[in-house]
Amino acid sequence: MKTFVSMLTCIGLLFVIVGCAVNPVTGKRQMALVSESQEIQLGADAVPEFEKEFGGKVPNEQLQQYVTELGMALAAISDRPKLPWSFAVLNSDVPNAFALPGGKIFVTAGLMTSLTNERQLTSVLGHEIGHVCAKHSVQGMQRAMGAEAFAALFAQASGNESYGSAAKVAGQMVVLKYGRDDEYQADALGIKYMEKAGYNPWGMVETLQFLMTLGEEGGRLQELFQTHPLSSERVKKSQENVAKHYATYQADTPDANQTRFRQMQALCPKS
């Protein structure tokens, strides 16, 4: 009986130690079953299976370096600049973008070829960086799987079954649907990061409006909308945000990096 009580006490103390952490974005304490180092390892272990699920990286170093440079410029001024950030274009013609825990960001060739300028691409990258900074991925998995199941899965990923568990993590990330508030927050963070990096924040509004138009036409955007719910309210909130806090920017200002973007976009595989 004493052994059982002692075990429960240890478990309780462990939960107190790792069960709460300060959110880097909000500054508020929230339940966190994994530490930052564990979050980083969780994402890193899931990368190989995740990339495989979407056809691997596009085999073009120039394209990969371009997206990495854009992403790193945004990550450097984000709320978690010291994470081991990485960015990659996946060889899938289905428009989508993903953020694994710990700073692993992916955009598909299908989404990149759907955009029309560089600031729209930075809005996508900034949005995904926002998800990581606010720890939406980890929190979402905890909610979707339940705290006990998530803790068990992570325990496996930290042990001898890391590769098999990493595949399970990747599978969870593919189907994870962000909540409405998570999407609002990621949009706002993306706007903040892209503006701080020198980009016109109206790029976020352009992207949301553009995707809304494509969504009304149906087709390939279904998977993107499943994981990143899009609504007219998201568009409206982003418009209000930019108009209120970034009034010096104009919506109709041409993108200064249009030529470079088109050159890099042409390197994506054709569907």
Mean pLDDT, all residues of the chain: 81
Residue 104 has pLDDT above 60, yes or no: yes
Amino acid at residue number 39: E
Half-sphere exposure of 63 (CA within 13 A, CB side): 23
Q: Cite the beta strand spans of 78-118 per DSSP E.
A: 86-90, 97-100, 104-108
Amino acid at residue number 102: G
The pLDDT value recorded for residue 26 is: 66
The pLDDT value recorded for residue 175 is: 58
Distance CA 265, CA 239 (A): 26
The pLDDT value recorded for residue 226 is: 54
2-16: per-residue pLDDT in tens?
Answer: 333 333 333 333 333
Find residue 147's DSSP bridge partners: none
The pLDDT value recorded for residue 250 is: 94
The pLDDT value recorded for residue 160 is: 47
What is the pTM assigned to this prediction? 0.83
Hey, is 34 helix, strand or coil?
coil
Residue 57: DSSP 8-state = B
Direct distance between the N- and C-terminal alpha carbons of the chain, in angstroms, rounded to an integer: 64
Q: Which residue, 108, 130, 133, is CA-closest to 192?
A: 130
Report residue 164 as tokens.
């098999």
Residue 248 has pLDDT above 50, yes or no: yes
Taken as a whole, the chain contains a residue count of 271
**Torsions phi, psi for 6 (to 5 deg):** -65, -40
128-171: per-residue pLDDT in tens?
Answer: 999 999 988 777 776 665 655 565 655 555 554 554 555 566 55
Distance CA 48, CA 90 (A): 12
Q: Which residue, 102, 114, 112, is CA-closest to 58?
A: 112
The pLDDT value recorded for residue 9 is: 34
Locus of tokens 């180092």:
37
The pLDDT value recorded for residue 169 is: 61
Find residue 88's DSSP bridge partners: 106
15-62: per-residue pLDDT in tens?
Answer: 333 456 667 776 666 666 678 888 888 888 889 888 998 999 999 999
For the chain, what are the domain ranges? 37-265
Residue 253: DSSP 8-state = P
Hey, is 204 helix, strand or coil?
helix
Residue 67 has pLDDT above 80, yes or no: yes
Q: What is the mean pLDDT of residues 241-267?
A: 95
> What percentage of the chain exceeds 70 in pLDDT?
68
The pLDDT value recorded for residue 215 is: 61
Residue 249: DSSP 8-state = S
The pLDDT value recorded for residue 17 is: 37
The pLDDT value recorded for residue 2 is: 39
Q: Which residue, 268, 256, 269, is CA-closest to 118?
A: 256
Hey, is 205 helix, strand or coil?
helix
